[in-house]
Chains A and B, each alone.
Chain A
């Protein structure tokens, strides 16, 4: 049982400005990167293959194929470094963890698109 004080502390960290997205959705994560003394926004676009829903400690994993190599990146959902998340398309998937995409390549590794959910 988590202490109510810790619960309140975690609740204060949760961001409410991000869109609702699910596994299978293709998202564009605008992530702030610090280079020297400058900050710029890096875009990481790919399919959400995992959402770890744990309140303030939530994370999500995005997978993309870059020059033939699969790249997966995990983001803390409530991180102040995430400037925004845009949803490029909604995907139709039948499970919550899309690790099977790792074994697939090319056309087979696509996620079916839904126009309206």
Chain B
């Protein structure tokens, strides 16, 4: 499990910027600025993690457990709460109510893992979902044009193979993108510019942590 330091943020949209040498880089802008609202400790919970919150919401829109827990922690009720697994040393650096500053956690050029919920497309057929090419449009094809064709053989093995691509729910799933590069950090505005695309629509919550498949969490 990814235990590198990270943050949660809000996807704002995509744009492009110029690097110092004039190269154009398409990037996604993520608004950071999440607050530590709680902690998990090894002794009490069995693992170390920071509970971070993003945004604010009124008590009227919150349930009682949120109100009481945040009152106890002495922080405003966040709109969204997530747990970020981390080392005990990293968790010890932060106190409740403290903002996770991007310049302390990330560096420019670092590889990070980005996790977010993809746009929901609903129940989709195999054309849209898996780019099947369907059947011939003419030559006697009978109401069978956008279908996936055969789904297997008869007696052997007598069942449909596991993982067979068929129509179903597309999108609205948690998607992780590994090793995305941080093109730029803008600490005054707490903005992170990630190279390429990030799953989900604008205003989606995004979890950014150091790359799990790189040494030192993707830092240089």
Contacts and interface: CB of A to CB of B under 8 A. Distances in A.
Contacts of A78: 18
How big is the B interface, by class? 10 to 19
Contact of A76 (B18, B20, B29): B18
B189 to A, nearest CB: 7
Given A5-B12, A5-B29, 19 more contacts: A2-B13, A3-B12, A3-B13, A5-B31, A6-B13, A6-B14, A6-B15, A6-B29, A9-B17, A13-B17, A13-B18, A76-B24, A78-B18, A79-B22, A79-B24, A80-B18, A80-B20, A81-B21, A81-B22
B15 A9 contact: yes
B100 interface: no
Nearest to A33: B22
Interface string B21-54: 1101000010100000000000000000000000
Interface string A88-108: 000000000000000000000
Closest 5 CB pairs of A and B: A81-B22, A3-B12, A6-B13, A3-B13, A80-B22
Contacts of B7: none
B24 A5 contact: no
Given A10-B15, A57-B15, A5 B22 contact: no
B15 A79 contact: no
A109 interface: no
B142 to A, nearest CB: 44
Contacts of A71: none
A80 B22 CA distance: 5
Nearest to A32: B22
A74 to B, nearest CB: 11
A10 B18 CA distance: 11
Contacts of B17: 9, 13
Q: Count chain B CB atoms within 10 A of each CB in A3, A10, A76, A81 and give the residue with the most.
A: A3
Interface string B76-93: 000000000000000000
Nearest to A79: B22
A3 B21 contact: no
B29 A3 contact: yes
Contacts of A80: 18, 20, 22
Contacts of A79: 18, 22, 24
A65 interface: no
Contacts of A56: 15-16
Nearest to A39: B21
Contacts of A34: 21
